[in-house]
Amino acid sequence: MGAPTWPPSPQRSGRPGEPGAPLELALRLEKVSKWFGGLRAVDDVELTVRPGERRALIGPNGAGKTTLFNLIAGALPVSAGRITLFGDDVTRLAQHRRAALGLTRTFQITNLFPSLSVLENALLAAQALTPAKFSMLRPRGGFGELDTRAREALRAVGLEDRAQSAVRHLSHGEQRQLEIALALAGRPRVLLLDEPAAGLSSAEAHLMTSLLRGLDPAITLLIIEHDMDIALEVAQHVTVLHYGKVIADGPREAVKADPTVREIYLGA
Protein backbone atom coordinates (compact mmCIF):
# COMPACT_ATOMS: atom_id res chain seq x y z
CA MET A 1 0.00 0.00 0.00
CA GLY A 2 1.29 3.49 -0.83
CA ALA A 3 1.38 6.48 1.56
CA PRO A 4 -1.99 7.94 2.54
CA THR A 5 -3.06 10.81 0.29
CA TRP A 6 -5.11 13.91 0.97
CA PRO A 7 -7.78 14.55 -0.06
CA PRO A 8 -8.64 10.84 0.18
CA SER A 9 -9.25 9.16 -3.14
CA PRO A 10 -13.01 8.91 -3.76
CA GLN A 11 -12.39 5.34 -4.93
CA ARG A 12 -11.26 4.25 -1.48
CA SER A 13 -14.41 5.08 0.50
CA GLY A 14 -18.08 4.21 0.34
CA ARG A 15 -20.03 1.06 -0.31
CA PRO A 16 -21.09 -0.04 -3.79
CA GLY A 17 -23.85 2.25 -5.04
CA GLU A 18 -23.02 5.04 -2.57
CA PRO A 19 -21.29 8.27 -3.49
CA GLY A 20 -17.56 7.71 -3.43
CA ALA A 21 -17.93 3.99 -4.13
CA PRO A 22 -15.56 2.42 -6.66
CA LEU A 23 -16.71 3.00 -10.21
CA GLU A 24 -17.49 -0.60 -11.06
CA LEU A 25 -18.50 -1.17 -14.65
CA ALA A 26 -21.66 -3.12 -15.45
CA LEU A 27 -20.11 -4.40 -18.64
CA ARG A 28 -16.68 -4.23 -20.18
CA LEU A 29 -15.52 -5.56 -23.53
CA GLU A 30 -11.81 -5.61 -24.30
CA LYS A 31 -10.69 -6.23 -27.87
CA VAL A 32 -13.64 -8.53 -28.51
CA SER A 33 -13.74 -10.13 -31.95
CA LYS A 34 -15.85 -12.67 -33.78
CA TRP A 35 -14.75 -14.17 -37.07
CA PHE A 36 -17.00 -16.19 -39.32
CA GLY A 37 -14.42 -17.73 -41.63
CA GLY A 38 -12.74 -14.73 -43.26
CA LEU A 39 -15.46 -12.30 -42.16
CA ARG A 40 -14.69 -10.12 -39.14
CA ALA A 41 -18.27 -9.63 -38.01
CA VAL A 42 -17.06 -8.06 -34.73
CA ASP A 43 -13.59 -6.61 -34.88
CA ASP A 44 -11.56 -5.58 -31.80
CA VAL A 45 -14.51 -3.96 -30.03
CA GLU A 46 -13.90 -1.99 -26.83
CA LEU A 47 -16.99 -1.09 -24.81
CA THR A 48 -17.56 0.08 -21.25
CA VAL A 49 -21.02 0.53 -19.78
CA ARG A 50 -21.68 1.90 -16.29
CA PRO A 51 -24.40 0.54 -14.01
CA GLY A 52 -27.76 2.12 -14.79
CA GLU A 53 -26.56 3.52 -18.09
CA ARG A 54 -28.80 3.52 -21.18
CA ARG A 55 -26.60 2.75 -24.15
CA ALA A 56 -27.72 2.56 -27.76
CA LEU A 57 -25.86 0.43 -30.24
CA ILE A 58 -26.50 1.60 -33.78
CA GLY A 59 -25.07 0.92 -37.22
CA PRO A 60 -26.08 -0.16 -40.73
CA ASN A 61 -27.35 -3.64 -41.66
CA GLY A 62 -24.69 -6.27 -41.16
CA ALA A 63 -22.58 -3.99 -38.93
CA GLY A 64 -22.29 -6.77 -36.32
CA LYS A 65 -24.75 -5.50 -33.71
CA THR A 66 -26.66 -8.74 -33.15
CA THR A 67 -23.44 -10.75 -33.25
CA LEU A 68 -22.05 -8.49 -30.53
CA PHE A 69 -25.18 -9.15 -28.41
CA ASN A 70 -24.70 -12.88 -28.95
CA LEU A 71 -21.13 -12.62 -27.69
CA ILE A 72 -22.18 -10.61 -24.63
CA ALA A 73 -25.03 -12.98 -23.80
CA GLY A 74 -22.87 -16.06 -24.38
CA ALA A 75 -24.96 -17.43 -27.27
CA LEU A 76 -21.77 -17.41 -29.36
CA PRO A 77 -18.16 -17.89 -28.19
CA VAL A 78 -15.75 -15.01 -28.86
CA SER A 79 -12.89 -15.55 -31.32
CA ALA A 80 -10.73 -13.24 -29.22
CA GLY A 81 -11.01 -10.76 -26.39
CA ARG A 82 -12.45 -10.53 -22.90
CA ILE A 83 -15.88 -9.74 -21.46
CA THR A 84 -16.45 -8.78 -17.82
CA LEU A 85 -19.80 -8.35 -16.08
CA PHE A 86 -19.70 -6.33 -12.84
CA GLY A 87 -16.01 -7.09 -12.62
CA ASP A 88 -16.35 -10.87 -13.19
CA ASP A 89 -14.72 -12.38 -16.25
CA VAL A 90 -17.58 -14.13 -18.09
CA THR A 91 -15.79 -14.66 -21.40
CA ARG A 92 -15.99 -18.45 -21.18
CA LEU A 93 -19.17 -18.67 -19.12
CA ALA A 94 -22.21 -20.47 -20.56
CA GLN A 95 -25.25 -18.38 -21.44
CA HIS A 96 -27.37 -19.62 -18.50
CA ARG A 97 -24.57 -18.85 -16.05
CA ARG A 98 -24.40 -15.27 -17.37
CA ALA A 99 -28.18 -15.05 -17.03
CA ALA A 100 -27.85 -16.14 -13.40
CA LEU A 101 -25.46 -13.20 -12.90
CA GLY A 102 -28.22 -10.85 -14.06
CA LEU A 103 -27.60 -10.61 -17.80
CA THR A 104 -30.80 -11.03 -19.81
CA ARG A 105 -31.81 -10.54 -23.40
CA THR A 106 -35.35 -10.30 -24.68
CA PHE A 107 -37.24 -13.42 -25.58
CA GLN A 108 -38.58 -13.86 -29.06
CA ILE A 109 -42.34 -13.83 -29.06
CA THR A 110 -42.28 -17.01 -31.15
CA ASN A 111 -41.01 -18.87 -28.06
CA LEU A 112 -44.19 -18.03 -26.16
CA PHE A 113 -47.23 -20.15 -25.40
CA PRO A 114 -49.94 -18.42 -27.45
CA SER A 115 -52.88 -20.12 -25.77
CA LEU A 116 -51.65 -19.43 -22.24
CA SER A 117 -52.43 -16.12 -20.58
CA VAL A 118 -50.11 -13.16 -20.42
CA LEU A 119 -49.65 -13.77 -16.68
CA GLU A 120 -48.93 -17.48 -17.16
CA ASN A 121 -46.24 -16.67 -19.71
CA ALA A 122 -44.73 -14.12 -17.33
CA LEU A 123 -44.77 -16.71 -14.52
CA LEU A 124 -42.94 -19.22 -16.71
CA ALA A 125 -40.34 -16.60 -17.58
CA ALA A 126 -39.94 -15.63 -13.93
CA GLN A 127 -39.40 -19.27 -13.03
CA ALA A 128 -36.98 -19.93 -15.89
CA LEU A 129 -34.90 -16.86 -15.07
CA THR A 130 -34.86 -17.28 -11.31
CA PRO A 131 -31.48 -18.38 -9.96
CA ALA A 132 -31.43 -21.94 -8.57
CA LYS A 133 -31.37 -20.80 -4.94
CA PHE A 134 -35.02 -19.73 -5.21
CA SER A 135 -36.19 -23.07 -6.56
CA MET A 136 -35.34 -24.61 -3.17
CA LEU A 137 -37.93 -22.47 -1.40
CA ARG A 138 -41.16 -24.06 -0.29
CA PRO A 139 -43.55 -24.18 -3.27
CA ARG A 140 -45.97 -21.65 -1.74
CA GLY A 141 -43.29 -19.11 -0.85
CA GLY A 142 -41.57 -19.80 -4.15
CA PHE A 143 -44.75 -19.30 -6.11
CA GLY A 144 -45.59 -16.11 -4.21
CA GLU A 145 -42.21 -14.69 -5.14
CA LEU A 146 -42.65 -15.68 -8.80
CA ASP A 147 -46.16 -14.22 -8.85
CA THR A 148 -44.86 -10.93 -7.45
CA ARG A 149 -42.10 -10.78 -10.05
CA ALA A 150 -44.42 -11.64 -12.91
CA ARG A 151 -47.02 -8.99 -11.98
CA GLU A 152 -44.32 -6.39 -11.33
CA ALA A 153 -42.90 -7.04 -14.80
CA LEU A 154 -46.33 -6.74 -16.46
CA ARG A 155 -46.94 -3.48 -14.61
CA ALA A 156 -43.58 -2.10 -15.79
CA VAL A 157 -44.63 -2.51 -19.43
CA GLY A 158 -48.25 -1.46 -18.94
CA LEU A 159 -49.77 -4.91 -19.50
CA GLU A 160 -51.26 -5.51 -16.05
CA ASP A 161 -54.79 -5.08 -17.43
CA ARG A 162 -54.10 -7.79 -20.02
CA ALA A 163 -52.82 -10.35 -17.46
CA GLN A 164 -55.70 -12.79 -18.07
CA SER A 165 -55.81 -12.46 -21.87
CA ALA A 166 -54.43 -15.26 -24.01
CA VAL A 167 -51.20 -14.18 -25.69
CA ARG A 168 -52.66 -14.88 -29.13
CA HIS A 169 -55.20 -12.10 -28.54
CA LEU A 170 -52.53 -9.43 -27.99
CA SER A 171 -51.78 -6.91 -30.72
CA HIS A 172 -48.32 -6.97 -32.27
CA GLY A 173 -47.30 -3.96 -30.19
CA GLU A 174 -48.52 -5.62 -26.98
CA GLN A 175 -46.58 -8.77 -27.84
CA ARG A 176 -43.40 -6.71 -28.13
CA GLN A 177 -44.21 -5.15 -24.73
CA LEU A 178 -44.64 -8.67 -23.35
CA GLU A 179 -41.19 -9.62 -24.65
CA ILE A 180 -39.75 -6.89 -22.43
CA ALA A 181 -41.89 -8.00 -19.47
CA LEU A 182 -40.64 -11.58 -19.76
CA ALA A 183 -37.04 -10.38 -19.61
CA LEU A 184 -37.89 -8.13 -16.63
CA ALA A 185 -39.50 -11.04 -14.76
CA GLY A 186 -36.00 -12.35 -14.00
CA ARG A 187 -35.10 -8.96 -12.46
CA PRO A 188 -32.09 -8.43 -14.72
CA ARG A 189 -29.20 -6.13 -13.84
CA VAL A 190 -28.21 -5.77 -17.48
CA LEU A 191 -30.85 -6.00 -20.19
CA LEU A 192 -30.04 -6.45 -23.89
CA LEU A 193 -32.78 -5.37 -26.30
CA ASP A 194 -32.37 -6.12 -30.00
CA GLU A 195 -34.58 -3.73 -32.01
CA PRO A 196 -37.51 -3.58 -29.58
CA ALA A 197 -39.41 -1.22 -31.90
CA ALA A 198 -38.89 -3.21 -35.11
CA GLY A 199 -42.12 -3.65 -37.07
CA LEU A 200 -44.14 -1.36 -34.82
CA SER A 201 -46.45 1.38 -36.05
CA SER A 202 -45.31 4.89 -35.14
CA ALA A 203 -47.87 5.05 -32.31
CA GLU A 204 -46.68 1.68 -30.96
CA ALA A 205 -43.04 2.74 -31.32
CA HIS A 206 -43.81 5.88 -29.36
CA LEU A 207 -45.37 3.78 -26.58
CA MET A 208 -42.33 1.47 -26.59
CA THR A 209 -39.99 4.46 -26.33
CA SER A 210 -41.76 5.86 -23.27
CA LEU A 211 -41.92 2.38 -21.72
CA LEU A 212 -38.14 1.99 -22.11
CA ARG A 213 -37.54 5.44 -20.70
CA GLY A 214 -39.63 4.53 -17.66
CA LEU A 215 -37.80 1.31 -16.76
CA ASP A 216 -36.17 0.98 -13.33
CA PRO A 217 -33.09 3.26 -13.50
CA ALA A 218 -31.05 0.61 -11.70
CA ILE A 219 -31.25 -1.63 -14.77
CA THR A 220 -28.42 -1.17 -17.24
CA LEU A 221 -29.89 -1.08 -20.75
CA LEU A 222 -28.15 -1.93 -23.99
CA ILE A 223 -30.41 -1.35 -26.93
CA ILE A 224 -29.87 -2.05 -30.61
CA GLU A 225 -32.03 0.24 -32.66
CA HIS A 226 -32.22 1.00 -36.36
CA ASP A 227 -34.29 4.12 -35.85
CA MET A 228 -31.80 6.78 -34.77
CA ASP A 229 -34.57 8.97 -33.31
CA ILE A 230 -35.75 6.18 -31.00
CA ALA A 231 -32.18 5.26 -30.06
CA LEU A 232 -31.34 8.84 -29.16
CA GLU A 233 -34.53 9.32 -27.20
CA VAL A 234 -33.87 6.31 -24.98
CA ALA A 235 -30.09 6.51 -24.62
CA GLN A 236 -27.79 9.36 -23.62
CA HIS A 237 -24.76 7.48 -24.81
CA VAL A 238 -24.33 5.92 -28.23
CA THR A 239 -21.91 3.42 -29.77
CA VAL A 240 -21.80 3.16 -33.56
CA LEU A 241 -20.67 -0.05 -35.25
CA HIS A 242 -19.65 -0.23 -38.90
CA TYR A 243 -18.24 -3.40 -40.48
CA GLY A 244 -17.68 -4.85 -37.02
CA LYS A 245 -15.69 -1.87 -35.72
CA VAL A 246 -16.64 0.88 -33.29
CA ILE A 247 -16.43 4.06 -35.37
CA ALA A 248 -17.98 6.42 -32.81
CA ASP A 249 -18.71 6.24 -29.10
CA GLY A 250 -19.87 9.05 -26.85
CA PRO A 251 -22.70 11.32 -25.72
CA ARG A 252 -25.59 11.36 -28.20
CA GLU A 253 -25.09 14.98 -29.28
CA ALA A 254 -21.43 14.34 -30.15
CA VAL A 255 -22.25 11.13 -32.02
CA LYS A 256 -25.10 12.76 -33.89
CA ALA A 257 -22.76 15.54 -35.05
CA ASP A 258 -19.93 13.14 -36.01
CA PRO A 259 -19.19 13.58 -39.74
CA THR A 260 -18.52 9.87 -40.35
CA VAL A 261 -21.75 8.87 -38.62
CA ARG A 262 -23.68 11.46 -40.61
CA GLU A 263 -22.17 10.20 -43.82
CA ILE A 264 -23.10 6.59 -43.07
CA TYR A 265 -26.64 7.45 -42.07
CA LEU A 266 -27.30 10.06 -44.72
CA GLY A 267 -25.70 7.87 -47.35
CA ALA A 268 -27.80 4.85 -46.31
Ligand X SMILES: Nc1ncnc2c1ncn2[C@@H]1O[C@H](COP(=O)(O)OP(=O)(O)OP(=O)(O)O)[C@@H](O)[C@H]1O
Can you give the binding site for ligand X, defined by CB under 6 A? Answer: 36, 39, 41, 59, 61-67
Read off φ and ψ for residue 223, nearest 5 degrees. Answer: -130, 125
Options 33-41, 61-69, 131-139, 231-239: segment touching Mg ion (CB under 5 A): 61-69
130 binds, among ligand X, Mg ion, none (CB under 5 to 8 A by kind): none
186 binds, among Mg ion, ligand X, none (CB under 5 to 8 A by kind): none
Query: Is the link from the previous residue into 7 a cis peptide, with omega within 30 of 0?
Result: yes
In the complex, minimum distance from the CB of residue 154 to ligand X, in angstroms, rounded to a whole number: 28
Q: Which of 63, 33, 55 is closest to 255 using CA atoms? A: 55
Nearer to ligand X, 83 or 126 (CB): 83
Q: How many helices (H) and strands (E) does the chain have?
A: 10, 10
Could you give the angle at the alpha carbon of 264 between the alpha carbons of 258 and 266, nearest 5°? 90
In the complex, minimum distance from the CB of residue 33 to ligand X, in angstroms, rounded to a whole number: 12
Nearer to ligand X, 34 or 149 (CB): 34
- Encoded amino acid at 52, one letter: G
Instruction: Pick from 35, 39, 44, 66 the residue near Mg ion by CB under 5 A.
Output: 66
In the complex, minimum distance from the CB of residue 97 to ligand X, in angstroms, rounded to a whole number: 22
In the complex, minimum distance from the CB of residue 66 to ligand X, in angstroms, rounded to a whole number: 3
Q: Can you list the alpha helix ranges (DSSP code H) found in the chain?
A: 65-73, 95-100, 118-129, 132-135, 139-156, 172-184, 202-213, 228-234, 252-257, 259-267
